[in-house]
Structure 1
Amino acid sequence: MIQPAVNELTKVIVESFGYLHGEPPQAHLVVDLRNCLHNPAADPAMREMTGLYPQVHQHVLDTPGTFDVLAGVLETTRVLHRLHDLRSRKVTVAFGCAGGRHRSVVLANELTAALNREGIATTVTHRDISRPVVRTNR
């Protein structure tokens, strides 16, 4: 698991995970990417890579609908942040895909970068990125 330190300045925690590795994490918003974005693991050249690799990152971003999903989650996260910030609470957003190594990693990193650019202190955790690739019959 890749997990940076969360401190008192952190306002939003973003987590990627894989549904094939257990229950989704506790979060205010859970986004299921399994049926809305192309799976890079279906391509043998990218299967063993993760969303941290530039070619996987670009593959996910090039999938039609990716920016619509990201824009919707960004706006929802902004609203949750405003509501929770009044009570000095952190907001947690989780992105899930099948194995937690590709799509969820890319969108978690993209959301984190966008929120940090807006001045909302955000950290990201990749729960299942180091797990082995899960082979399925799909």
Structure 2
Amino acid sequence: MTTVEIVSFDYGHAAPPEAHVILDLRQHFRDPHVNPALRYMTAEDGAVRRSVLGTAGIRPLLRATVRQVQAFAAGPSGDRIAVAVGCVGGRHRSATVAHCLARRLRRRGLEVELWHRDLARPVLERAA
């Protein structure tokens, strides 16, 4: 059976992990970090998840990524598929999208391993 390994990460602390599919959320999707009320929260907080999932384009990206992973899994040698989801700080967008992607893939019968490489790292202080 195909195993999908999903890792959320940040581009600010370390290089991206190797993966078959990399989602770079840095430039095209609203960053909750710019909202001072959300800045020190993480994807474990409902307000962050609502903010990320309410961003235009995120849900279509999730649907497209599910289809892409399913295409990889249908291939003749698809025993492991690595998906990396990155943003600037690894606490908001990447972790939320990785979690939602894992849930959607599990509902479609795929075995999924999920980890958040940088969720617990300190907030990267930067201009809003």
**Superposition TM-score, scaled by structure 2 size:** 0.95
- Quote the offset at 1:52 in angstroms: 1.4
Find the counterpart in structure 1 of residue 54 from structure 2.
62
Name the CA distance, whole Å, in 1 between partners of 2:66 and 2:35: 28
1:116 to 94, 103, 106: 106
- 1:101 pairs with 2:91: yes
Instruction: Give structure 1 stretches of 5+ with no counterpart.
Output: 1-8
Letter in 1 for 2:113: T
Name the CA distance, whole Å, in 2 between partners of 1:88 and 1:79: 9
Q: Deviations over 1:64-100 (max 9, x none)?
A: 11111111111111111221xx335210000000011
Instruction: Give structure 2 stretches of 5+ with no counterpart.
Output: none
**Percent of aligned positions that are identical:** 36
2:63 to 64, 71, 77: 71
Letter in 1 for 2:91: R
- 1:80 pairs with 2:72: yes
1:1-138 mapped onto 2 (5 Å cutoff)? 11-83=3-75, 86-87=76-77, 89-138=79-128
Name the CA distance, whole Å, in 2 between partners of 1:94 and 1:44: 27
Indicate conservation of the 8 Å contact 2:2/2:73, yes or no: no
CA-based RMSD of the aligned residues comes to 1.3
Letter in 2 for 1:47: R
What is the DSSP-based 3-state SS (H/G/I as helix, E as strand, rest coil) of the residue aligned with 1:20? coil
Change (3 A) 1:49 1:28: same
**Superposition TM-score, scaled by structure 1 size:** 0.88
- Quote the offset at 1:10 in angstroms: 6.3
Moved over 6 A (4+): none
- Quote the offset at 1:137 in angstroms: 2.5
- Quote the offset at 1:136 in angstroms: 1.3
